[in-house]
């Protein structure tokens, strides 16, 4: 190994360590669930995206086992060559049915969906307009394009309209507005209805990343497009299976023509080996569960409403959250880190979110509620958050 490179990388790691930005991931010794074993200790999990508790659901495990027995462990290739099994086709048909869309395309991850589709859709001379708090995968996807780039302040529709007018002055070939559906740090929801209205007024294309809305918002967890009753009016509805659906993979729903275009032009889809049978079959099973019933979605919201109410009654500031993503605002980075460590020692796993992930004065513990949490587990977590919050003088 080049020793100069090793020395330079060590310097960068030391900088991260000095700034308390060095990741040291905890290790799970059990399935991902509401109360997993983490580094040998049972904990109440408050930082998982497993919103519906499907990661360890019997129906998904059964589907995965059956698929491995019938199809083997892997797909053997990329999708356009020999990596498309009938399991992949069935999953895409199920996604489209769930999303009330003409067609859908299944990617390896939500990240590769954004980093593949956005560059495929934007050409030199086009314009892309993005919310300032959009996910990093959107930012990286935009960076891969040669389109003119415009940023609008978070959820500020007056500024979005100003950016639309500014972009149109350059007579672009195409204008693409991109937004997260649910913003992952604050848990607030994009005003997608107003975004679509502005897009239609100015002839722009709309693209929503609904990673944290899939399985959470809308009827049966259909997502933000259904939440705002915008079926047929949002051009690209992107999401992921790695959160509420409990498995792995990204997806994009759109018109048949648009999906056929991405199938031929999206490099991350064309050049990445496809998911194995177990993951694909389990993903289909997750969607079928939600198509058949919405009990899990209802339970998720019952737990979320109870948890938020109890925290606010204790005096905590939960920011702008409208979803199961519930920040416990500390504002001070040191208090956020201390709170996370103190909670871990008390049996609650929740991570601090500090600069540069959020502004320097917007530090928080980001907690995530699931349908799988029992009332006893929620009460335990709330009691510990309250106790630690008092010690740190966040509440009286």
Q: Indicate which residues carry an active-site annotation.
A: 184, 212, 243
**Separate counts of helices (H) and strands (E) for the chain:** 14, 14
In the beta sheet, which residues pair with residue 209? Answer: 180, 238
Q: What region, left, alpha or beta, does residue 34 occupy, with left being phi > 0 and alpha being psi -120 to 50 degrees?
A: alpha
Strand stretches in the chain, DSSP E: 37-38, 41-42, 44-45, 103-107, 127-131, 148-152, 175-180, 205-209, 236-240, 250-254, 325-331, 348-349, 351-353, 363-368
Q: Is 50 helix (H, G, I), strand (E, B) or coil?
A: coil
Distance between CA atoms of residues 353 and 188, nearest Å: 16
Distance between CA atoms of residues 171 and 33, nearest Å: 51
Alpha-carbon 193 to chain mean position: 20
Beta-carbon contacts of residue 250 (< 8 Å; ≥ 6 apart): 106, 107, 108, 109, 110, 111, 112, 113, 114, 238, 239, 240, 241
């Amino acid at each position: 190994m080049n020793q100069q490179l090793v020395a330079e990388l060590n310097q960068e790691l030391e900088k991260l360590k000095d700034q308390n930005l060095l990741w040291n991931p905890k290790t799970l010794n059990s399935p991902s669930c509401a109360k997993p074993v983490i580094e040998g200790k049972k904990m109440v999990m408050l930082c998982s995206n497993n919103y519906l508790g499907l990661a360890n659901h019997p129906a998904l495990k059964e589907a995965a086992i059956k698929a491995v027995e019938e199809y083997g462990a892997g797909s053997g290739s990329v999708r356009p060559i020999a990596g498309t099994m009938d399991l992949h086709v069935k999953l895409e048909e199920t996604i489209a049915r769930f999303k009330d869309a003409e067609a859908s395309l299944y990617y390896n991850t939500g990240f590769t969906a954004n980093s593949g589709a956005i560059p495929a859709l934007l050409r030199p001379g086009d314009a892309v307009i993005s919310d300032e708090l959009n996910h990093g995968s959107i930012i990286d996807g935009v960076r891969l394009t040669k389109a003119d780039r415009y940023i609008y302040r978070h959820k500020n529709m007056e500024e979005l309209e100003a950016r639309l007018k500014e972009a149109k002055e350059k007579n672009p070939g195409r204008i693409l507005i991109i937004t997260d559906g649910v913003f992952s740090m604050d848990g607030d929801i994009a005003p997608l209805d107003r975004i679509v209205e502005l897009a239609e007024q100015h002839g722009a294309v709309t693209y929503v990343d609904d990673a944290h809305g899939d399985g959470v918002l809308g009827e049966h967890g259909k997502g933000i497009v259904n939440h705002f009753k915008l079926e047929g009016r949002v051009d690209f509805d992107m999401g992921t299976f790695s959160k509420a659906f409990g498995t792995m993979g990204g997806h994009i729903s759109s018109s048949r023509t648009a999906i056929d275009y991405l199938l031929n032009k999206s490099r991350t889809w064309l050049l990445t080996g496809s998911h194995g049978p177990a993951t694909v079959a389990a993903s289909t099973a997750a969607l079928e569960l939600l198509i058949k019933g919405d009990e899990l979605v209802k339970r998720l919201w019952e737990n979320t409403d109870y948890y938020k109410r109890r925290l606010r009654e204790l005096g905590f500031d939960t920011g702008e959250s409208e979803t199961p993503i519930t920040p416990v605002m500390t504002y001070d980075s040191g208090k956020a880190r201390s709170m996370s460590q103190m909670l871990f020692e008390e049996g609650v796993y929740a991570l601090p979110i500090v600069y540069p992930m959020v502004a320097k004065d917007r530090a928080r513990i980001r907690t995530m509620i699931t349908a799988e949490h029992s009332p006893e587990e929620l009460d335990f977590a709330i009691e510990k958050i309250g106790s630690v919050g008092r010690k740190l003088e966040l509440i009286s």
